[in-house]
Amino acid sequence: MKDTGDFKGKVVVVTGASAGLGRAIVREFARNGAHVGLLARGKDGLEGAKKEVEEYGGKALAIPTDVADPDQVEAAAEQIERELGPIDIWVNNAMISVFGPFKELDVKDFKRVTEVTYLGQVYGTQSALKRMLPRNAGTIILVGSALAYRGIPLQSAYCGAKHGIQGFFDSLRSELYHDNSNIDLCMVQLPAMNTTQFEFVKSHLPNKPRPMGTIYQPEVAARAIVHVAKHPQRELYVGYPTVQAILGNKFIPGLLDKYLGKIGYDGQQTDEPKDPTRKDNLYEPLSGDYGAHGSFDAQAWDFSPQVWAATHKAVVYGALASLAFTIGVLATRRWS
């Protein structure tokens, strides 16, 4: 396999690197020539990701890490800098969730989701900043969601964590501006994706959980994240449904409460009953290498026109300017 060389020699850290979106992010950075520090709990998936990076010609360091433990995150960062070199880019991607009505959730499970999905990003950012600030260089990417702005039923712990990340992001960016820092802090807001989480997320639902609404392949988001690493910006929305959710919540939040209350339960379940022996990964990783995709390939989009437009603004603006000019010329000729 050949790489494009855009990140040749750069050191990238990806949390949640063993499966799902994290695995797709690892592949995309490796394809671009990066060396990758791989953080996750699942050893089999980490080894699979490490092999893929090496197939692209990069160096990879797989470190079993629970991002809910700040000591483990800090130790991993130290090992990566010692063995791969200074960290250039840190992507906070690790997450877990619990599906079910809030009234049925165990408080311990809610805490666990918060510690991994929210505090995991806080701890990762802190370890990255500890090394980037003295160099006054580096990029940190927080992986958000449309659910960072608009909560949905049956995922109160996850939505709360993503909302928390958004507030943390705003606060830290202000502090970096105050310090005149050259470090780029970015956030990417994602849509529903065909990732492995639906295969082993803890669920109180009677049927198998599924992504809600339009589903995208994880590579769509991975390419967007790598684009932000190349061209840092404050935020990038991925997928038109993400734009809809964020704008809709800004203008009609009350109507969305009622609408999601009606469709949000059935919309997050398939017609297939849940396997009663099904295991989840809330507290312990499952054995095996699950790759990047879940079981919804047939329904998932592998391209987003909205993302293409958002990441090719010069082309879009040029086309619009050309169109406006042409319309102006035609109008002038008609009335002359």
Active-site annotation, residues: 158
Residues 37/87, Cβ–Cβ less than 8 Å: yes
Which sign, positive or negative, has the C-alpha torsion 105, 148, 69, 26?
positive
**Helix 240-251 vs helix 253-263: angle between axes, to the nearest 10 degrees?**
120
Gap between the Cα atoms of 70 and 127, Å rounded = 8
DSSP 76-116: HHHHHHHHT-S--EEEE-----EES-GGG--HHHHHHHIII
Residues 6+ apart with CB under 8 A from 240: 214, 304, 305, 306
Residue from 189, 51, 74 nearest 124 by CA: 74
Gap between the Cα atoms of 331 and 336, Å rounded = 9
In our burial notation (b when 16+ CB lie closer than 10 A, e otherwise), range 13-28 reads bbbbbbbbbbbbbbbb
Long-range Cβ pairs for the range 132-138 (8 Å, 24+): 132/87, 132/183, 133/181, 133/183, 135/86, 136/181, 136/182, 136/183, 137/88, 137/182, 137/183, 138/87, 138/88, 138/89, 138/90, 138/183, 138/184
Residues 24/292, Cβ–Cβ less than 8 Å: yes
Q: Burial of 333 by CB count in 10 Å (0-12 exposed, 13-18 middle, 19+ buried)?
A: exposed
